[in-house]
Every structure is written in C-alpha cells, then in structure tokens.
Amino acid sequence: MSTLKGFFLGRIDFLINEKSISHLLSQKAKGLLCYLIMNHNQPHNRDKLAEIFWGNSSKESARYNLRYTLWSLRKGLNSTAKQQKYFLMPEKNLCQFNAESDVWVDIFEFYELSKKAKEPGLSPDERIRLLNRASALYQGEFLEGFYVKASSSFDDWIFFQRETAQRTYFEVQKSISELYSEKKDYSNAIASLKKLLAINPLQEDIYYELIKLYYISGNRSGAIREYQNCCKVLREELNIRPMNKIQELYNNILKEEEINKTKKNTVKPSSEDQNLSFMLRILDTENKDIKIVFYTTTNYDRDYVQISKLIRQYQEKNPCLNISTSCLPGPRIQFEGLQEIMIDILKKYPASIQQIPGWCLFEIRKIVPQLQIDLPFQRGSSISNPQIEKLRVFSAAAKIIESVAGQQPLLLNFTQIHSLDRVTLEFMPFLFRQYHDKGFMMIGINDSNKDVKNIEYLREIYKGEKQVVFIGNPGCSR
C-alpha cells in the first residue's frame, strides 16, 4: 500500500512512496488536501468546502470545481472512487479524509512529540531528546508562503494554524532552554532562545533570559552585547527602551564588573595581563611589519573585552574598517565565517558594490545568497570540482578585500577562532599569500578552554612567518 507524507511546517509538499507529487497538484488541490488532513476527525459538507475555496464563484461552479479537484487528488494519490485509500464519502454530500490510511504528517508528529515531552516520569535527557526531535520538524511557519487566490476563509484558517504551531514551537524552545540550563549546558540553552529571536526579535522576555544565561555562564561580555542588541532592536522597531527588569539586570552586571576591576588592581599582573600588554605593543602605530596576530587565552570573556578596547584605541590612531565575525554559540557550518566577513564589508562599506568586479559578486553570491543585485556579468561553469569552486570563492573574497583595502585600511577581526569552520581557516593563509602587502591587518582570538585544534592548525600553517605573531598558551610564540 502506498504511503502518503505531508509536510506542512515550512514549504508545503506531498510525497507518495518518498516521491513528491506536489507538481501534479494545483494550488487549491494542495490547499484542500491539507485542510481535509488537518480536519480528518470529522466529515465535511461539500457545499461548505466549495464555499471555503471557491466563495467568489457561483454555487454550481463552486460545486463543479470541488468535484474536479477531488478527482485530481484521487488521481495524484493513486486512489479511485471504488478504492477509497485516502477519502471517505459517508454520504453523497459529505467528504472526509481517511485517518486510517497509511499517512504521516510532520505537524501531527510535531504536536505529538511536544505532548509526550510533558508526560510525568521522564528523565531530563529523555525530555530533551523528544523536544529536539519536535524542534527539528519545525522547518518554518505552517504552510510558509502558501496562498490560495480568492479564498479568504482558507487564508484565515491558515493564519490560525500558524499561530497555534508557532506558539507550540516557542514552548518547545523555552523548555529546551530550561532543561539545558538545569544541566548547566548554557551554550545549548542560549542557542534555543536565539532561534526564538530569529522569528520575533521584539520579545523582551527572551532578551532577559538570554542576558541572564550569558551572565551566569561567565560570559559577561556576551550579556552586555545582548543587552545592547536588545536596545538597538527596540529603539529601531518600536522607539522604546527595554523594560525595567532588563535594565536592572544590565546595571547589576556593570556594577559587578566595576567591583572585579577594583579587586584586580590590587593583584599582581598575571601572565595573561602581560599577554595583553604585549598585544598593546603590537597594535602600536610603529608596528608596521606585523600583519596577523592570533591571541590564545584561558580567560576569553575578560580578554575579549580588553582586546576590543585595544582595537578601538588602534582605530582612533589608524582609521580603518573593523570587519568581524559574530560571537555565537555552537560550531559553524562551512563558509559561515567567510560569509560573515563579506556581509560585514558590504554593510559597512556599501560603496564597494560599485567598485567590485562583477565576477567577484557573482562568486560571492554563492555564499551570500541574500545579496540582491542584478549582474550584467553571468559566468557559467563546466567544472564541478568542489576545490575549484572553493578557489573561485576565495579569489573573489580576496579581490573584494583588496579592493576595499585600497580605499580604506581593513582590520579583519575573527572573534572566535576556536569555533570557526575549516573553510574560513583555509581562507586566512590564502588571503595572506595573495595580498600580504596590502592595507589590512588580521586579529584572531582563541578560547583554549573550548578548543585548540584550529589555533594549532594555524600555528602550523604560518610556522616561521615573521609577519604573523601568536600570543598566549599553548606554545606562546613572540
């Protein structure tokens, strides 16, 4: 017996025996099938269905369109009037989806998993497993981007379903975050809340929890950055300040930082303080020969803040564009770090769009799909070798950096070497080989508590290179 699968969370799709049949169905046929599946517990009056989907047509036309659409669905689902695999006709004027048929629907599984995770007696790990499975099914809002012409009743129904599914998804992510917090797995707890802000960046309660999680995990600089991001979004979107409890939390964090600074002033400078002093000397304007500095620390949060201050001081003496990767939890996917660098350049120096060769933009659009620009230059490629494709992207990215650096000096700031993807790591020496004599400097910070594989890889790559300096353990080189 054929198996029907329905995917409603994200882009709508129907599969029979793992093969999509969506291209065989009209927009209203897909909408009708979705509506019948979602409401399979009850039979539906045909006249009512005709009114929902063809309300602007005459009664006879609406009935005909419904009959034809049901026929097309039977055909697409390999069903017949005699062999009712997926549709039941209990009476002449009634229609119902056969819930006993061999069918799987992602949103039903999503609701079932989120419900199971609430059952008493489950261990925290089991709850997390169920909730993560539910989270993975949520590929987007209910019937994302789906629209049926002249069917306002159906559109209203979609809106209600979207609200219900999204509300459940929010509950799932909040529960995941709470469970990870109890296990002191703050990285995953933060990642779950970040997903909610990606959907709705105006949720002050989520900002409050994120700031608190960053703080209790020891990442005070992350907490401060999240507060600043909250202020920026609320000001730009609603022209308001964060609610009082967020401001109070932020002020408490600042007070503790001041107390810690006072305490540290009475303590003998540590080896990491000496490393910061050495970093300051390197960033001195007299140091023209050093192009790349990699800083490894066991006290990442503190040193990240201090190095950021040093960079600002450096910029005051040497006006330049500070281009950086983001500070986010979790491992990166391939090209993600390089993508962030390209996005930051195009955002902070939009004039570069007019100066960069068309072939460069064509290649960079492969890793920055949100780059919306009409290119008169379009290049086809008969080579599918991934190494050649990587070389093309590297060449384009390096050319963009060279082009911008020719107009204004660049400071490339890789904030988390320990979590960078390997492709971005490979790009660093490529850029250095191509344009080490151009107007850019590169700084990378590595948290040795997280990982040292990436920094050791770079240490081996740049071995013996006088224009590259490594500061801090392991294996401090000066």
CATH of the domain at 457: 3.40.50.300
421, part of any domain: yes
Condensed to tens digits (0 to 9), the pLDDT of residues 143-153 reads 999 988 878 89
199, part of any domain: no
Rounded Cα distance between 229 and 380, Å, is: 41
pLDDT at residue 374 tops 70: no
pLDDT at 358: 80
- Between 57 and 262, where is the model more confident? 57
157, part of any domain: yes
383, part of any domain: yes
CATH of the domain at 39: 1.10.10.10
**What average pLDDT does the structure give for the chain?**
83
Query: Strands 103-105 and 410-414: what pairing?
Result: unpaired
Rounded Cα distance between 157 and 143, Å, is: 11
Q: DSSP secondary-structure letter at 416?
A: -
Condensed to tens digits (0 to 9), the pLDDT of residues 32-80 reads 999 999 999 889 999 999 999 998 889 999 999 999 999 888 888 875 4
Domain coverage including residue 35: 1-119+134-168
Looking at the 3D structure of the chain, how many domains does it have?
A: 2
Same domain as 304, residue 159: no
Condensed to tens digits (0 to 9), the pLDDT of residues 180-224 reads 999 889 999 999 999 999 999 999 999 999 999 999 888 888 899
pLDDT band at 406 (very low <50, low <70, confident <90, very high): confident
Rounded Cα distance between 63 and 51, Å, is: 9
SS3 144: coil
Burial class (CB in 10 A: 0-12, 13-18, 19+), 290: middle
Rounded Cα distance between 11 and 143, Å, is: 6
Same domain as 287, residue 138: no
pLDDT at residue 331 tops 80: no
pLDDT at 382: 46
* pTM for this prediction: 0.55
